[in-house]
Structure 1
């Protein structure tokens, strides 16, 4: 049986209770605080190192391994090579010149600083991951919410049998090969034109003067006039503003930065990490629970037949269908003043 570590952040303040909760006290198997019963991601504990380790494990052994690096002196564990961006601007005054430095906890890779800053300006201000701001906290919460470590790493699961470990390993291997992706930022046409030109040069040395692109845009290699439309909102993409490409979707499709969101919850896909399923972008959480049932008690995916499903559709590990206070099976009278199963 695998026993997962207790959640990090013990004692961190609760953002929902705002002073009522004395600090995060982890439950033994629920992903929640025993004091206020709010989820772990509602408690203000940020550890970039821990986040980088979790994302590194997710991207390891996938086509995105190049976005990770081995931990020095470790046992082969890979850590996320998160791209940080530091912008220094001079402050104009009559006195000696000073500088205002802004640090972004994350920024798209492969861009000039000017284009990266333009990308950031296209996001809502409260969603820009500037260190020490609401946007940084939002990013951390979405990493916890959208990419739960226990969806891909059995070390974070409370308890798995040998049979469940095998099922989980195959499930994770499958989605890393078929669905997991990381968006790429470029100007409209840069990615799609490069891919089409590579294909044309291999298949026909003399391409026609015009061609019909898969997304309906008409492109003329002579005039180089093309219109590109966002696959999210359907609106025209400005040629001088960056867009997001998803390689799993093919480079004929693109999204405005603010439109690159999960098709289920509508939240921006954190660090552009997405899962592609049946023509839709999904965050890790909603992709995984569209394939495997998720226990409403411990929030982990269920890899066995030992489950209980309510008429409402909620699914539980059988042992987790219990009173919040005493752990008694909820179908049995336990005498607690307030019985909760969530």
Structure 2
């Protein structure tokens, strides 16, 4: 077989034709490790539209499907290697403040109530049933297996990220909606200028330093403030080894709960707080025994030996929490605040915070999207934050100047007439083709900027020639009329002439 030389954009291959093309195929396969953004999820079915959508086809800058105009989160986009999730989380926590974040699927023993909501739980007074192994796409890291299982019991069933279930799909959707990639790095945005890119980078660094955190689940314990880990090394295990209950001073009959808890349940304003320095990191660098002050710089916040037990309540619902209850703590909020697992939600959208990732602002926790929306305007077309000096405001929304376009054909609408429908702007031609009504009299389309008269499912041009009596042909504009069987009449007499 003759030798051939094949040139590509970057490489030259020599040898037999079969050998040369085999080399190209091998390298192309290796290069598939780097997946283009528009290839991720291509062809995935739409959960909302079903068969009406032929498959996910990403619009270049709108970040929606070109076929059905639903978002990526509404399509069954799979990430079996968890690669995209790891990249997204890695961009958030790529500095010295490491995340308490588990990146791998984990199988743990859970109570029957986790997979069967009708089963009784320890929380509602039921006994401990036979445990089953359950695989989760994500679990809170650094907690014991028992606490993780109880945490999963306490969040809604539909939100439990059990592999292969609707809960796992909901988690993937929340990762996309709550933590947009284009809020994290310029390369995910549509052609930013260097000034805009620099502003985005500064914005990202600002929220990393002062707002971003990962909730930690622990048991509420009288006489103790939670120990909130600030930095986690790569050697940290996914689950802590849980010592026997007796070694923890706990009752083996109620795993994770103290033998006795007394007192009313209210928030104690004197509970210890975590000192936050100007650079956003805590002044407490190592865990301390519960008998020592949490913050040496503020002894008034310390728990004193012999003092009454701190009294806890959920920071969202206000309901009391007793010793042994599983709670979510947020380092940014200090050590005197906690939440029920089902209450750790964004203050704006009230959705559970995906993977316990929160942004702290004005004494509330937010998802990444709604934290950013309080700082910068967001373009209604491309969903990106706006860092340009000038932008458009229309239909009670904000738009990049270049993105104020027809929802159907992407024609720029700056300075042009348009029609808004469902908060989306349309050029007159697209509105005419998509939504224009047909006149019941002349059977022609009624122009988008034209006047029309409607009654039920019937429509007419608002002219004397079209809106007229079907019997005597006189104009009915501004007059009473009698509709019947698709006709309109000025009187019963005319009706009887046409419809005897």
TM-score by length of structure 2 reads: 0.57
Unpaired runs of 5+ residues, structure 1, are 68-79, 92-98, 214-218
Q: CA offset at residue 197 of structure 1?
A: 4.5
Alignment partner of 1:53 is 2:53: no
Q: CA offset at residue 60 of structure 1?
A: 1.0
Q: May I ask how many residue pairs the two structures share in their alignment?
A: 305
> Could you say which residue in structure 2 is the equivalent of 1:77?
none
| Change beyond 3 A, Cα 1:201–1:55 | closer
- Aligned with 1:6: secondary structure? helix
Query: Quick one: distance in 2 between partners of 1:89 and 1:260?
Result: 22
Q: CA offset at residue 114 of structure 1?
A: 1.0
Contact 1:145 1:285 in 2 (8 A): yes
Contact 1:83 1:108 in 2 (8 A): no
> Could you say which residue in structure 1 is the equivalent of 2:242?
none
Query: Quick one: distance in 1 between partners of 2:197 and 2:411?
Result: 27
- Aligned with 1:338: secondary structure? helix
TM-score by length of structure 1 reads: 0.81
> Could you say which residue in structure 1 is the equivalent of 2:106?
85
> Could you say which residue in structure 2 is the equivalent of 1:73?
none
Contact 1:118 1:241 in 2 (8 A): no
> Could you say which residue in structure 2 is the equivalent of 1:191?
226
Alignment partner of 1:171 is 2:267: no
> Could you say which residue in structure 1 is the equivalent of 2:409?
326
Q: CA offset at residue 203 of structure 1?
A: 6.5
> RMSD of aligned C-alpha atoms?
2.7
Residue in structure 2 matching 1:147, options 169, 172, 179: 179
Q: Which has the higher contact order (CA 8 A, sep 6+)?
A: 1
| Change beyond 3 A, Cα 1:129–1:246 | same
| Change beyond 3 A, Cα 1:234–1:316 | same
> Could you say which residue in structure 2 is the equivalent of 1:259?
343
> Could you say which residue in structure 1 is the equivalent of 2:139?
107
> Could you say which residue in structure 1 is the equivalent of 2:487?
none
Query: Quick one: distance in 2 between partners of 1:180 and 1:241?
Result: 25
Whose helix proportion is higher, 1 or 2? 1
Moved more, 124-133 or 47-56: 47-56
> Could you say which residue in structure 2 is the equivalent of 1:38?
70
| CA distances 1:282-331 after superposition (whole Å, capped 9, x unpaired) | 10000111101110001011111231012x43000111111122211233
> Could you say which residue in structure 2 is the equivalent of 1:8?
40
How is 1:1-342 mapped onto 2 (pairs within 5 angstroms)?
5-6=37-38, 8-47=40-79, 48-61=82-95, 63=97, 65-67=98-100, 81-82=102-103, 84-88=105-109, 101-189=133-221, 190-191=225-226, 197-199=291-293, 202=296, 221-222=305-306, 225-310=309-394, 312-330=395-413, 331-332=416-417, 333-336=427-430, 337-338=433-434
Query: Quick one: distance in 2 between partners of 1:201 and 1:41?
Result: 43
- Aligned with 2:358: secondary structure? strand
| CA distances 1:222-249 after superposition (whole Å, capped 9, x unpaired) | 3763421110100011322210011111
| Change beyond 3 A, Cα 1:36–1:301 | same
Query: Quick one: distance in 2 between partners of 1:135 and 1:164?
Result: 37
Q: CA offset at residue 87 of structure 1?
A: 2.2
Query: Quick one: distance in 1 between partners of 2:91 and 2:163?
Result: 23
Query: Quick one: distance in 1 between partners of 2:39 and 2:369?
Result: 18
Contact 2:140 2:148 in 1 (8 A): yes
Q: CA offset at residue 7 of structure 1?
A: 6.3
- Aligned with 1:335: secondary structure? helix
Unpaired runs of 5+ residues, structure 2, are 1-35, 113-130, 228-271, 273-286, 418-426, 436-500
Contact 2:211 2:360 in 1 (8 A): yes
Contact 1:7 1:31 in 2 (8 A): no
| Change beyond 3 A, Cα 1:239–1:103 | same
